[in-house]
Chains A and B, each alone.
Chain A
Amino acid sequence: MYVSVRDRPAAAAGRTGRVATTVVLLGVVSMFTDISSEMVAAVLPLYLTTAVGLGYLAYGLVDGIYQGVSAVVRIGGGYAADRGGHPKWIALVGYGVSAVSRIALLPAHGFAAIAGVISADRLGKGLRTAPRDAIIAESSDPAQLGRSFGVHRTLDTIGAALGPLIAFAVLALVPGSYDSVFVVSFAFAVVGFAVLVLFVPDVRTRAATAKAGLRQAFREISGTRLRRPLLATGLLGMLTVGDGFLYLAVQQRDDLTASFFPLLYVGTNVAYLIFALPLGRLADRIGRARVFVGGHVALLAAYLAAGGQLGGLVTTVLVLLLLGTYYAATDGVLPALVSRLVSDEVRGSGIAAAQTVVALSRFVSALAFGSLWVLFGRGHALLVVGLLLAVALPFAWRLMRTSEAPA
């Protein structure tokens, strides 16, 4: 089976070649899985309030806590993938748990049951991410890792953009039948799972022969090569305000009705999927650390646009574009960067460590920014964080530049 995404003509990049079939297949798996999970995410607030009769304040509180748990599982998933030498097996468990969680929404009707099902989904996501990225890294030409991750993230984000559309199409067909949305979501998850089981090769990582112990994994993660980029990632992560806050800032300034809120997410996703591949390729060419840090410059610009006094549709669109650019320059670029800094035996653990640093530092940032928001109000809080980010960027760059792997 030859599935390939051809690059644009050689003239543009000067470098051609196919992205590995495995990478595209994993992209397809992620696309189906994201359709499935975004379908549920899109209708969940409505489902909880109109069908189950819960308030969602309650839900938001619990969800924040599970994000933290998911970060811990992530490390476990990365290490297990390295240790067993079969990252596919760990990814299978992660995708499987998430798929089953969709159908488990049918009998779940209480608050605790729904919270449990949702957290199972998050745990599955935490578990599968690092092994999946390890397979992508393993199957790609090291010089074109950024592009590989770019292709994967593009497909992934297409799924994220399609999910809500499909969910609302189902609801239009059978009004109020959230169970139908869950069943269709489950069907998509099953298809994604089948592609993973049937077509993604069981890539044996080096770890299969040289079983890396916990000690080696720890030594590499805390070793000099990875320490500096992880520090930089954590520093930047702590100054990364959640999208939700940015959307809220835009919404408060322009008084967008809440009904348009979902469109803000869609806008960011569209920008992300447009830029994921070009920025991944750019990272291969000019350096991953450079693009990663550059993404945070886009984020800084987004703060200024959202926190400033200029309102209107143009500013809102600009914020979404900048936010999408930030994701495109960081989300897939980080694993590409980290993959080349650790030895093959502990690649999954290394990627997982970096993603955990991102998740935890953003969690800290969400808490801290919540307080800033209360103290200073929307605009000033964003400007304060923007200022801190501007100060931190040169330091982060200094920490990261040494780890710029030769492309």
Chain B
Amino acid sequence: MTLRIRLAALAGVVVLALVAAGFYVLRVQRDQASAAGSAPAVPVTDLAAALTAPHIVFRSTALGSGYGKLAVAPLTAPDGPRAFTEASCERAYAVAGRSVCLSARRGLTNTYKAHVLGPDWAATGDLPLTGLPSRVRLSRDGALAVTTTFVYGDSYASLGQFSTRTVVTRIGHKGSSDLETFRLLVDGKRITAADRNFWGVTFADDDRFYATAASGGKTWLVRGSLAQKRLDSIRTDVECPSLSPDGTRIAFKKHGGMAPGHWRLAVYDLRTGVETELAETRSVDDQAEWLDDKTVLYGLPRDGATGAATSDIWATPADGAGPPRVLVPDAWSPAVVRTSSPR
């Protein structure tokens, strides 16, 4: 091949690559524009009406103008028409009259916000946040909020090098508690290792909570007290606990002997110490939520028809009987609000 032919070939490759990639990006841009302009691909109902009865709050992943918005559906028909709020969140949690919305502002450096939303879904304040948020919960009365972030989130390439920060905030008050400043006792022995990590808090009341503690490659379910600044281990291999409405059981993901990145949903009875694996056999990486005392909810990703990432909220019986079913299609990050919201 002469130099001229090779140069021509390179020019051809460059032009082809440029045109093809440019065409792809422009098509995505056009699709996004038309999707954002089009009505949501799901039936829509009135927000005020939906909030008067017990309901489920979730992030809608249905294509259309409501993509990524918080939505509400009545518990009587969770897969029926949904009502959209104006809040866009990556992840959220809600109780009656209050919710916390984690959102990302993308750029060269990504900044994240944790907004506290009032009854009208408008932001009333921010929670302190360091890093990439992964879990959020409110206490039952909405007085306390907790977020877990990956502080060292950008190094996915380093073995065992990660750091989480879990911070409890009393909403409307200054200051917050970082769980790493609490005393951690495993089987009564104090753990002071620098690799202590905590995540996935679930509140029992305004003082007591459950969470995951990790150190040296092991994880524990711990019971904590905000007043005493103390965490006591209950058992091993528990991640992202979620307390049942009656306060007797913990739904969680367990790793067991599975490959890295795989978890099995299970329920632990705090009174008897009995563990029950749930019927869901797919790997679940989510902090579960309880629909009622008998049913556990969780999100699972699904490949969308147009390549857009979407997800569904699934439900499975807490006693391990099957089978799991889709509770809310095109949805993520469920929060069950059992009382109607004060207006």
Contacts and interface: CB of A to CB of B under 8 A. Distances in A.
A242 B156 CA distance: 13
Contact of A258 (B6, B132, B262): B132
A171 interface: yes
Given A191-B13, A251-B151, A367-B159, A174 B107 contact: no
B332 A111 contact: no
For this complex, into which size category does the number of interface residues on chain A fall? 35 or more
Interface string B305-334: 001010100000000000000000000100
A183 to B, nearest CB: 5
Interface string A154-177: 000000000011001011111101
Given A53-B299, A374-B194, A58 B10 contact: no
Interface stretch (B109-117, B201-209, B270-278, B335-343): B109-117
B160 A370 contact: yes
Given A45-B154, A54-B261, A374-B194, A259 B21 contact: no
A194 B9 CA distance: 8
Contacts of B160: 60-61, 64, 370
B10 A198 contact: yes
Interface in A26-57: 41, 44-46, 48-57
Interface stretch (B24-32, B38-46, B181-189, B288-296): B24-32
Interface in B47-61: none
Contact of A171 (B106, B193, B215): B106
Contacts of B163: 248, 252
Contact of B109 (A184, A186, A199, A259): A259
Contacts of A106: 307
B279 interface: no
For this complex, into which size category does the number of interface residues on chain B fall? 35 or more
A49 B159 contact: no
A374 B161 CA distance: 11
B216 interface: yes
Contacts of A65: 159
Interface in B12-28: 13-14, 17-18, 20-21, 24-25, 28
Given A51-B309, A60-B161, A183-B21, A111 B108 contact: no
Contact of B159 (A53, A63, A175, A262): A63
B227 interface: no
A248 B13 contact: no
A48 B156 contact: yes
Interface in A250-285: 251-252, 255, 257-263, 265
A53 B106 contact: no
Interface in B253-279: 260-262
A258 B130 contact: yes
Contact of B301 (A109, A115, A188, A376): A109
B104 interface: yes
A168 B106 contact: yes
A164 B193 contact: no
B76 interface: no
A242 B158 contact: yes
A258 B10 contact: no
A177 to B, nearest CB: 5
A258 B131 contact: yes
A180 interface: yes
B10 A195 contact: yes
A306 to B, nearest CB: 14
A49 B106 contact: no
Contacts of B106: 46, 168, 171-172, 175
Query: Which 4 interchain pairs have the tightest Cβ spacing?
Result: A58-B261, A64-B159, A258-B131, A187-B21
Given A53-B300, A59-B261, A60-B159, 15 more contacts: A48-B156, A50-B104, A58-B261, A63-B159, A109-B309, A115-B261, A165-B108, A170-B25, A172-B106, A174-B28, A177-B28, A198-B1, A244-B161, A258-B152, A366-B158
Interface of B: 1, 3, 6-7, 9-10, 13-14, 17-18, 20-21, 24-25, 28-29, 32, 90, 104, 106-112, 130-132, 134, 149-163, 193-195, 215-216, 260-262, 283, 285-286, 299-301, 303, 307, 309, 311, 332
9 contacts: A48-B156, A56-B153, A64-B157, A109-B303, A244-B155, A259-B131, A366-B158, A366-B161, A373-B194
